[in-house]
């Protein structure tokens, strides 16, 4: 879980947060991630996983939901 508060940002502007990749209305943005990886084979030569992410944007009408594989 990640919670950011942006200080000294104009309240009448939207900002892009590069770490969570979302456009927010200051001052808050919240990110939640849940993932699972399963190892297979001798010495774990194969790994298969899934990752889900929810980015909550207070002050905006839509949140962001992402599903996919974990980064390498």
pLDDT in tens, 4-54: 999 998 878 899 999 899 999 899 999 999 999 999 999 999 999 999 999
Tokens describing residue 16: 């892009």
Determine how β-strand 22-24 pairs with β-strand 64-68.
Answer: unpaired
The number of distinct structural domains making up the chain is 1
- CA neighbours within 13 Å on the CB side: how many for 53? 17
Take residue 23 and report the two structure tokens written for it. Answer: 């456009």
Asked if residue 72 has pLDDT above 80, the reply is no
Residue 3 predicted with pLDDT over 70: yes
Domain that holds residue 35: 2-68
Task: State the DSSP H helix or E strand holding residue 32, giving kind and residue range, or none if neither.
Answer: strand 28-40
pLDDT of residue 60: 85
pLDDT of 59: 82
- Per the CB < 8 A criterion, the answer to whether 24 and 17 are in contact is yes
């Amino acid at each position: 879980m990640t919670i950011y508060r942006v200080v000294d940002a104009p309240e009448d502007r939207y900002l892009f947060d590069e770490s969570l990749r979302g456009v927010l209305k200051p001052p808050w943005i919240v990110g939640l991630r849940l993932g699972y990886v399963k190892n297979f084979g001798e010495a774990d030569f194969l790994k298969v996983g899934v990752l889900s992410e929810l980015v909550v944007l207070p002050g905006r009408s839509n949140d962001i939901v992402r599903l996919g594989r974990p980064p390498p």
